[in-house]
Amino acid sequence: MDPPAPARSAERPHPTHTFRLLLRREYWEHKGGIVWAPLIAGGISLLLSVGLLVVAIFVAHRSVAEGHTIEANGVTINGVDLGALVQQLTSEDMRQLADGLYVTLFMSSTWPFLVMIFVAFFYCLGALYDDRKDRSVLFWKSLPVSDGATVLSKVVTAVIVIPLVATLVAIATMVLFLVALSIGAAAHGANPLPLLWGNGSVFLLAGQFLAAIPVYACWALPTVGWLMLCSAWARGKPFLWAVLIPLALGVASSMTGLLQLAGLDRHWLWGNVVARMLLGTVPLTGADLSYIQRATSEGGQVTNLLSVSGVYSNFATPAMWTGIVAGVLMLLLAVRLRRWREEG
């Protein structure tokens, strides 16, 4: 008889394969917040937008039935005939139409991003606390997975996966709303391809949304680091610890005025520390607000308000890099706490 073949030693899984499984675990455990919450928000936004469109068409038809007319560039148009109206539009009118469509599409896509703010915030709060609360941390610690890889998978989920899913849902909401606009325009005599799609507003806005994800992943790091640090440290009610400690620091600095001894404003801590610890999941920075205000005051095009150059100018601010360093340090401390912290 042939001798039995020697047993093959189990091969250690590749780190990328392990990390991919960790990301899948986060997706399986939080599918409701990651996927279904922005989908529901996008669906509600789409229904409301289409409802407003139907109401506008109904009002226009009733206005025409009552004998009212539309005057464009000195030409009076009877009935709801968009084709005749489009023929009277100048190049400046088309530019203003593109700007208005850009703003309309942006407004229709905001609901998934609003949901994303809360989903990312509360996901980070429970990321390292929930498995300690239900004692499943003992099972996960028994697996050949490092604490650093576990925390990193949660960070990637918070700053990349959740914003990416919300962005894709927002883009889908914009496209479907533009399809509804196209159907309404075609039903009233206008060609929607050059009128609504030819200016490329939907594609420009979709590209700007996708390009902004790495910027806001870095911007959210101090908030993600602080929330996960509280999640790894708190024995109970991590929300209260995460919120009350920064608020207490802000109130104390404003009441005592100690920061004025260092040449800083009395309320400096609120905008530079407290806001960065609690509001980093909001996809809007101080540099963005300054850029938008400057662009609007100079009379620039609306389509440049979320330009890639404007969004990436955040990396030229000290606040961005200070937040990145602070966020990384807090995440390293969270890894350390997860390694040694145990309930009971």
Q: Which residue in this structure is represented by tokens 């922005």?
A: 38
Q: Quick one: pLDDT band at residue 174, thresholds 50, 70, 90?
A: very high
Which structure tokens are listed for 275?
A: 């806001």
Longest distance between any two alpha carbons in the chain, whole Å: 102
Q: Which residues lie below 8 Å from residue 286, measured CB to CB, with a gap of 6+? A: 271, 317, 319
Helix axis angle, 318-340 to 201-219, nearest 10° = 60
For residue 58, the model assigns a pLDDT of 79
At 92-132, the pLDDT tens digits run 777 888 888 898 999 999 999 999 999 999 999 999 888 88
| Burial status of residue 340 (CB atoms within 10 A of its CB: 0-12, 13-18, 19 or more) | exposed
Asked whether the beta carbons of 172 and 105 are under 8 A apart, the reply is no
For residue 59, the model assigns a pLDDT of 77
For residue 344, the model assigns a pLDDT of 42
At 208-258, the pLDDT tens digits run 999 999 999 999 999 999 999 999 998 889 999 999 999 999 998 888 877
What is the DSSP secondary structure assignment for residue 81, as one 8-state letter?
-
Which structure tokens are listed for 99?
A: 């700007």
In the chain, the amino acid numbered 97 is L
pTM of whole model > 0.75? yes
Q: Which residues lie below 8 Å from residue 84, measured CB to CB, with a gap of 6+? A: 77, 189
User: How many angstroms from the chain centroid is the CA of residue 211?
Assistant: 12
At 192-208, the pLDDT tens digits run 888 889 888 899 999 99
